[in-house]
A = this chain, B = another copy of it.
């Protein structure tokens, strides 16, 4: 059957695991609970156990495993070092490939979960076929993952792609989670869209579908689809901020494609009606033709990308457990 690879996505509640063939086809996926007791000391042993169990079940020998890729919620340097721990797991800083390598003697590569998900989208999702991509995750915050020539751009301290914290608004009075003011994610995340909506609704009494019930990114874009004028104004503000921010990103890395994912992206292609014209307006001419696509792998982007660390050469070649 050729060599296989495992892609592991460690989250705060569950660990997602995937078994892939050598071409990156997902053969099987499953989950185990994340046990965060005692500084998360059981998480990696459980992962190893689960992988070894699957190998026994499928009669896969160690030499048939090309490697294990693992994405974790924290800054990971190019060597696979978890630089400053992972608060959601209770982990302190340590070298992930080395630690997991104590249980299984195959190649192991680790990276940040958002970057790994970006690699997944580039390899098998919305960015497939492209050489350079910026993945934009519009969730509670605005995350980013940058892939250049099929490799994750990690940055000096693991913070490359933190595009949600580009300063975009001088007039902001409220603090962002990062303690700065006026960060992109204060306007373009799910939470940011709700803020923009509440601000707009408080401005006057113009009738709007949004005046009934709780406002969310979903209700805003549902109202946009229904032709609601106030919702459209909110979407325009959102598009102005995000388009302008992504134009700045394009001046720096000039990607072939932006792939938009995260909860907000469930609104679908209509997002592009608001983001793309503003992007093209603010972009440097040579960067203006970047493509836009929706993420397609959903919650599986992490396991795909983790397997991609091994199979698509998406991590720096320095890191390995052996």
- Does A1 make an interface contact (CB < 8 A)? no
- Does A299 make an interface contact (CB < 8 A)? no
Partner of A180 from the list B156, B163, B250, B282 (CB cut-off 8 Å) is B282
Partner of A255 from the list B156, B164, B249, B285 (CB cut-off 8 Å) is B156
- Does A137 make an interface contact (CB < 8 A)? no
Are B284 and A180 in contact (CB-based, < 8 A)? yes
> How many angstroms from the CA of A165 to the CA of B131 in the assembled complex?
23
Are B159 and A284 in contact (CB-based, < 8 A)? yes
By a CB distance below 8 angstroms, the chain B residues around A157 are: 254, 286-287, 289
> How many angstroms from the CA of A250 to the CA of B180 in the assembled complex?
14
Contact pattern, A 148-165, Cβ under 8 Å of B = 1, otherwise 0 = 110001111111111111
Are A155 and B254 in contact (CB-based, < 8 A)? yes
- Does A132 make an interface contact (CB < 8 A)? yes
Total chain A interface residues with beta-carbon distance under 8 A: 46
Q: Classify the secondary structure of A's interface with B.
A: loop
By a CB distance below 8 angstroms, the chain B residues around A161 are: 252, 254
> How many angstroms from the CA of A163 to the CA of B250 in the assembled complex?
9
Are B253 and A252 in contact (CB-based, < 8 A)? yes
Residue of B nearest to A254 (CB): B155
- Does A178 make an interface contact (CB < 8 A)? yes
Are B256 and A156 in contact (CB-based, < 8 A)? yes
By a CB distance below 8 angstroms, the chain B residues around A52 are: none
Are A247 and B167 in contact (CB-based, < 8 A)? yes
Are B289 and A166 in contact (CB-based, < 8 A)? no
By a CB distance below 8 angstroms, the chain B residues around A247 are: 166-167
Residue of B nearest to A131 (CB): B156
What is the minimal beta-carbon distance from A138 to any residue of chain B, in angstroms? 16
> How many angstroms from the CA of A148 to the CA of B132 in the assembled complex?
14
By a CB distance below 8 angstroms, the chain B residues around A165 are: 251, 284
Residue of B nearest to A169 (CB): B170
> How many angstroms from the CA of A284 to the CA of B141 in the assembled complex?
14
Are A167 and B254 in contact (CB-based, < 8 A)? no
Are A252 and B282 in contact (CB-based, < 8 A)? no
Within 8 A of B (CB), among A156-195: 156-167, 178-180
> How many angstroms from the CA of A317 to the CA of B153 in the assembled complex?
18
What are 17 contact pairs spanning A and B, CB under 8 A?
A75-B286, A132-B156, A148-B148, A153-B253, A157-B254, A158-B286, A159-B254, A160-B253, A162-B284, A163-B252, A164-B251, A165-B251, A165-B284, A166-B252, A180-B284, A248-B248, A248-B252
Binding site for B on A (CB under 8 A): 75, 78, 131-132, 144, 146, 148-149, 153-167, 178-180, 244, 247-256, 281-282, 284-287, 289-290, 316
14 more A-B residue pairs beyond the given contacts A131-B156, A148-B148, with a C-beta to C-beta distance below 8 A: A146-B252, A149-B316, A153-B253, A155-B255, A155-B287, A156-B256, A157-B287, A157-B289, A163-B252, A165-B251, A166-B247, A167-B248, A248-B252, A252-B252
